[in-house]
Chain A
Amino acid sequence: MYDAIIIGAGISGLVCGCYLAKAGMKVLIAEQHYKPGGYCSSFKRKGFIFDAAAHCFGGYRKDGITRKVFEDLEIDKRLKIEKYNPSDIIITPDYKVSFWADLDQTINDFQAAFPEEADNIKNFFYFLINPDPKAFASIRSWTFKNLLDKYFSDNKLKTILSIPLLGIGGLPPSLMSAFIGAKLFSEFLLDGGYHPEGGMQTLPDALAERFREFGGDLRLSSLIKKIMVKNNKVTGIVLEKGSFIPSKYVISNCDARQTFLKLLGKEKIEKEFYYKIKSMVPSISSFILYLGMDRLFNFLLKSGTNLWFFLHYNLDNAYQAAQKCDIEGFGGYMLRVSNDKSTILALILAAYKNKKYWVNNKFKLSELFINRIEKYSIPDLSKHVMYKDAATPHTLYRYTLNYRGACFGWAGTPSQLAETGFKKPSFIDGLFLTGHWTTQGLGVSGVVYVGYDTAKIILRKET
């Protein structure tokens, strides 16, 4: 009998598990994959180490949530975390601006590019780091475009501020919630660019090691088939291999649709909530290119920095093109050269298509993507590629079971913001969700927050 069983060893499940186990609870984490991490993992091919999806993280400033959690769990000492400066560079046909570790330097950079908007730039950045939580509650129904329109008149500046959000939040400003945009901005751009030496996998590995030290059980390659419920209360889980494991709490760190529709089953869900799940829109997926480079190649690009390259200023069009997996129409990409300059990770947004589509198109899209990077960012790139592979939306689904390979949980639109039922469904006692499907957390620092918060809520009940 466990006090808590956590489904999925993503960062949020691991963080939640560590806090519960540290407080003395008997906790099991069951993960379907053979290694922990979910989207925050790395893999090795031909001697190259690639981050699979998440390739840096934020919220590690002095009072940042990621730092607080890593210090609480004492994994900060086991990791060598570097911050790349600048964390992000945005390049368009007319501008090049950077996000620096020093906020004033970032503001200066933007002011130099857009002198007419100098005061607005400062006001905007200072609003984003506003510590008053109520300031954000008053913009709960706004889009990020509404927020940009309040501060700026220059459309190119508005687009430049939105380009990285398209990549880390999966929506153009006209569709993205202002709160989500503001949070992504303050956590990943104004305090982003952190990367652990050895690759992103070192984060879940350190958390998993710590979880075991706290007395937790971690079972890898263990798919859970059912969440069992009696009299509207969870009683435990059933593993794919058939055994029932009882537990007081069940915390799902996996896909919300899977949690409710498959693991719980339609008959256990309130009708109204069932229709809500059916009407919720998942976020878009990505096409990620992994390149291993030869040692002769001398990069002109700064290593460790996220480079956002866009050929145009219409992000609504880019989003539409991503729905069709149209690389040329998308008109941009994110590129990161690893710190040791041995690998490149490049990504664009792409919609989910079935396996057959990707069998036919993966190679073609990879070649087209390489050609475009060669044309706009790294001349002669293809001559130095020793290894290449790509993750399609279907690959992302296969490894993490996120619905349709969704990269950011539910789409972060204003109408889908703050749906509390996804974190703690009111109709079943003892069931919690944690991670990016709770409509709360995006990116590593977002899911670290949700994992920490979920544990805190459970521990408050227990003491």
Chain B
Amino acid sequence: MAENVEKEIISIISDISGFDEEEIKPDTNLQNELEIDSIKAIEITVAIEKKFKIAIRDEVVPNITTVKQAVNLVNELLKQKATKKNT
């Protein structure tokens, strides 16, 4: 699952930033290397929430600076969602 999450997130970021998927690596810094400004940060957050049907808490958004951090967060939220569903 982790691999797909990363692929999907890179595809979202590529669409919104205009950078090719090949240029976006796990350690790529969103703001400095992909020119993600405030509106794009919102677009990416909203698109990720819609894609994975998750809600990212307001206070954790500022902690996401790289692709990897976004992937880890989404994986964690998906895991929580699955656990909730099973209990």
**When the two chains form their complex, are residues A133 and B38 in contact, meaning their CB atoms are under 8 A apart?**
yes
Q: Which of A418, A424, A458 contacts B39 (CB 8 A)?
A: A418
Interface secondary structure of A, over-half rule: helix
Shortest CB-to-CB span from A326 to chain B, Å, is: 34
Chain A residue, CB-CB nearest to B37: A133
Interfacial chain B residues near A133, Cβ < 8 Å: 31, 36-41
Cβ contact of B58, chosen from A139, A458, A461, cutoff 8 A = A139
> Could you give, for residues 16-44 of chain B, a 1 whenever the CB lies within 8 Å of some chain A CB and a 0 otherwise?
11111000000000010000111111111
Q: Which of A134, A424, A461 lies in contact with B61, CB distance below 8 A?
A: A134
Q: Does A135 touch B at the CB level, under 8 Å?
A: yes
Q: Which of B23-75 contact A (CB under 8 A)?
A: 31, 36-47, 58-59, 61-62, 64-65
Determine whether the beta carbon of A138 is less than 8 Å from that of B58: yes
A337 to B25, CA, bound (A): 54
Contact for A138 among B36, B44, B62, CB less than 8 A: B62
Closest Cβ–Cβ distance, residue A133 to chain B (whole Å): 4
Beta-carbon contact of A134 and B43 below 8 Å: no
* Cross-chain contact B42 with A140 (CB below 8 angstroms): yes
Chain A, interface size: which category?
A: 20 to 34
Q: How far is the CA of A87 from the CA of B45 in the complex (A)?
A: 34
A179 touches B47 (CB 8 A): no
* Residue B15 CB within 8 A of the other chain: yes
Nearest-neighbor residue (CB-CB) of B39 within chain A: A440
Residues of A within 8 A of B61 (CB): 134, 137-138, 140
> Which single residue of chain A is at the shortest CB-CB distance from B59?
A138
Shortest beta-carbon distance from B18 to chain A in Å: 3
Q: A137-B45, A138-B59, A140-B45 are in contact. Are A420 and B15 (CB under 8 A)?
A: yes
- A416-449 contacts to B, CB under 8 A, are 417-418, 420, 424, 426, 440
CB-CB < 8 A to A134: which residues of B? 31, 38, 41, 61-62, 64-65
In the assembled complex, the CB of A409 is this many whole angstroms from the nearest CB of chain B, namely 13
Q: Please, which residue of chain A has its CB at the minimum distance from the CB of B60?
A: A138
Closest to A140 in B: B42
Do A456 and B41 touch across chains, with their CB atoms under 8 A apart? no
| Contact for B19 among A139, A426, A458, A460, CB less than 8 A | A460
Q: Does A136 contact B (CB under 8 A)?
A: yes
What DSSP secondary structure best describes chain B's contact surface? helix
Q: Which chain B residues border A132 with CB–CB below 8 Å?
A: 62
What is the CA–CA distance of A136 and B62 in the complex, to the nearest angstrom? 9
Q: Is the CB of B43 within 8 A of A418?
A: yes
In the complex the two chains form, is B18's CB within 8 Å of A461's CB?
A: yes
Would you call A296 an interface residue if the criterion is a C-beta within 8 Å of the partner chain's C-beta atoms? no
A426 touching B15, Cβ below 8 Å: yes
CA distance A140 to B43 in the complex (A): 9
A139 to B58, CA, bound (A): 7
A76-B61 Cα distance, complex, nearest whole Å? 38
Contact B18 A457 (CB under 8 A): yes
In the bound assembly, the distance between CA atoms of A304 and B54 in angstroms comes to 48
* Closest residue on chain B to residue A457 by CB atoms: B18
Q: Which of A283-329 contact B (CB under 8 A)?
A: none
Residue among B37, B42, B45 with max Cβ neighbours from chain A (10 Å) = B42
For A126-146 the 0/1 string (1 means CB < 8 A from B) is: 000000111111111100000
Known contacts A133-B31, A134-B64, A426-B15: does B36 contact A140 (CB below 8 Å)?
no
Give the residue name and chain of the A residue nearest to B61 (CB).
A138
A460 touches B18 (CB 8 A): yes
| Contacting residues, chain A, for B64 (C-beta < 8 A) | 134
In the complex, how many angstroms separate the beta carbon of A419 from the nearest chain B beta carbon?
Answer: 8
Asked if B42 and A137 sit within 8 Å, CB to CB, the answer is yes
Q: Once the chains are docked, how many angstroms separate the CA of A456 from the CA of B16? A: 12
Interchain CA distance A133-B39 in the complex, whole Å:
8
B34 to chain A, nearest CB (A): 11
Q: Chain A: which residue is nearest B19 at the CB level?
A: A460
- Chain A residues lying within 8 Å of B62, measured Cβ to Cβ, are 132, 134-135, 137-138
List 16 A-B residue pairs with CB atoms under 8 Å apart, sorted by A's residue number. A133-B38, A134-B38, A134-B41, A134-B62, A134-B64, A137-B41, A137-B42, A140-B45, A418-B39, A418-B42, A420-B15, A420-B46, A426-B15, A457-B17, A460-B18, A461-B18
The 4 closest A-B pairs by CB, nearest first: A457-B18, A133-B38, A138-B61, A137-B41
Taking Cβ atoms with an 8 Å cutoff, the residues of B that contact A are: 15-20, 31, 36-47, 58-59, 61-62, 64-65
Given contacts A133-B31, A133-B37, A456-B18, 6 further A-B contacts (CB under 8 A): A133-B40, A135-B62, A136-B39, A137-B61, A179-B38, A420-B43
